[in-house]
Structure 1
Amino acid sequence: MLRRFDKLLKCNLCYISGIHSRSKACKPVLKNCKKMFKSAVFNLQEATPDQVKEFLNSFDTVLSDCDGVLWINNNAIPGSPEAMNYFRKLGKRIFYVTNNSTKIRSDFAVKAQELGFIAEPEEILSTAYLVAHYLKGIGFTKKVYLVGSNGIGDELKAVGIRHFGVGPDQVKPDFKSMSPSDMDPEVGAVVVGFDEHISYPKFMKAASYLANEDCLFVATNTDERFPKSSSIIIPGTGTLVRAVETCSERKALVLGKPNDYVRKFLESFGLDPARTLMIGDRCNTDIEFGVRCGFQTLLVMTGVTSAKDLEKIRNDKTPPLPDVVLPKLGDILNLTSS
């Protein structure tokens, strides 16, 4: 696996050297694909039985976001387990592609199984896993200052990369009293993921390590918020990434959707973009990722995107536009049985 990563990671070295404009060699080469509903924002519930059948036959691989598509918190969205298991029964290859960095792959697989999904750790592609293998793949040997959770920490540990920073960082009365002696000279990278213990001292440390231009700056994702299960808004990792970018005056290398690193990883499995379906609940990550990669895209309305958002998407026709839309993923089962 790591040998394949070494090959795939060459395109990312331009980021590490500070060159953000990719060369032609780094640009994806996608097969031409005549999609059934290309960027149509088409309500799949309005399709004829023959169109539904043709749609299901048009892809071999299913990539699905998790939070807001398959489950919210610890509750499966009704019909989602049955829909994903139905795709598998049809012979589709399944990958769970999540920007959530709070768990290791095996924990995600256990959660999925407990909620009724057929899932194996090898089918989980999480940003915590991507961070660990990205750093391992470029031969990183220093320490990581981690603004994040145990999910990233455990994945780093699994590949032999030292890290610290998980958990609360006490805010002292004189919160600006940090001195150079408080800094670890072995730190060679700052990684930012979701951190429920975010604090001013963490921002200070992250920015101070990043003052060294040789220190790598890696982020899991830039999602603005978590899918809502109530009227309470839960800020996402993007909130923390933007804050660290602001105080460090640096830009992070973001590995999660919709960025190219996920595509590079998936290409190692030999999937055909023209026959791949990406399912998501938000346009600026899931659908954008699918469009960039040349996948077919399915937007569901059980997470971030609201009915009002969908109306605006249809009226404004501002890319990225999903090919098809369903109120919830489980509705696909009603269409196949009609």
Structure 2
Amino acid sequence: MGVPPVHPALKGVNKLPSLNFITPETFSERHFTKIFLQILNSLFNFLFSPRNLLAVLGSYQQLNKHTETSEQSIMKLFTSSSKISLALLGAIASASTFATTTLSNIKPAVAAQFCQCPIYVNNRFQLQQPYVWSAKDYGSVLARNRFTQVGSPQPGAVVVMQPSFPGTNRTHGHIGVVENVNGNGTIGVRGTNQGNRGLFGEAGCNNVNVTRFETSVNGRPDVSFWVRGNNSNSGQQQQVQQQPIQQQNGFRQANFSAWVMSSNGITLRNSPRLGDRSNQGVRFRQNLNFDGWTYGETVNDLQLGNPDARWYKIAGTNLWVPSAYVNGNAPNSRPMP
């Protein structure tokens, strides 16, 4: 089918700029404000461009000059103007839909405050006052809040680092939460004010991330670990590290489904670890059924960029996928333990 002719006076009208499609895999909340303002700016330029206004005015002058054309010229003008109106309405509708969808997905924590490292620990564990100024002195605060010092790191324990520990503040040290323990004695720490990479919102703070400290904690007197309640795992770091993740964090039975967000598909894993790859895979947008989940290795969510330690077991198999790579949540679960 041919395209209806455009009135000569409207051939110079600017076209609306095309917008690059933003996939769930690449979208980040940080980009929303910039992109939405660009959309509004494009619409404003289209509406009030002198060139476009003169073109419309010229179309009416053309009608006046060609007195022998009445219905035919009016129909041409109407057809061309309708195209512009429909394009404009479509752009506005797309912008509105994009804005509504994005705003509905923004977590409240995005608007939270910048936190020093002790504030994040205070908020996460709801510690009671009085507090102290320096992270290096937080052992006394933790003890008052029924935390017990243990001899080795474990996921979920509070870590207090003295200023002499490499990578910490040379005056106040550092405090955070152990995210993972590696075989070489290094640890990943979940906390605030520890760099600007991979930030997300949590516990009333907008500058949380997970950072790996490259110095082994084994045998160092300038780092301590604290857990709430009694714990007698002192000296058992290697034993904790070698326990299967499924036993360490518990397997929750639940029937649910989710679809694959990764445009490259997913290679299924034999256990809740990225490195334990199987020879089987699933494709983009494939729907998967699960019969349970557990906490395992932390993976950054493809859509939001936030850390997610949940792993889902495909129903009737011993194969796993990270929650971070699929769209769907296990019932009564949260991304981190």
TM-score range, shorter chain: under 0.3
Q: Going by fraction, where is strand more abundant, 1 or 2?
A: 2
- Where relative contact order (Cα < 8 A, 6+ residues apart) is larger, the structure is 1
Q: Going by fraction, where is helix more abundant, 1 or 2?
A: 1
TM (normalized to structure 1)? 0.24
Greater CA radius of gyration, 1 or 2? 2
TM (normalized to structure 2)? 0.25
